Amino acid sequence: MTVTIEDTRTRFDDGRRIVLDENERLLNSVAAEQWDRAGALITSARAVFVIGNGRSGLAVQMAAMRLMHLGLRVHVAGEVTAPAVGSGDVLIAVSGSGTTASVVGAADTARKVGASVVAVTTAAESPLAQRADEILVLPAADKQDHSAAITAQYAGSLFEQSVLLAFDALFQALWAHADQTAERLWERHANIG
Active centre residues (catalytic): 160
Among left, alpha and beta (phi > 0; psi -120 to 50; other), residue 169 is: alpha
Burial class (CB in 10 A: 0-12, 13-18, 19+), 26: buried
Angle formed by the axes of helices 157-176 and 32-43, nearest 10°: 60
Burial class (CB in 10 A: 0-12, 13-18, 19+), 128: buried
Strands of 48-52's sheet in order across:
74-76, 48-52, 90-94, 116-121, 134-137
User: What single DSSP character describes residue 35?
Assistant: H
Taking the C-alpha atoms of residue 163 and residue 63, their distance in angstroms, rounded to an integer, is: 8
Cβ neighbours around 178 below 10 Å, total: 16
Distances (CA, A) of 36 to 7, 30, 151, 160: 43, 11, 26, 20
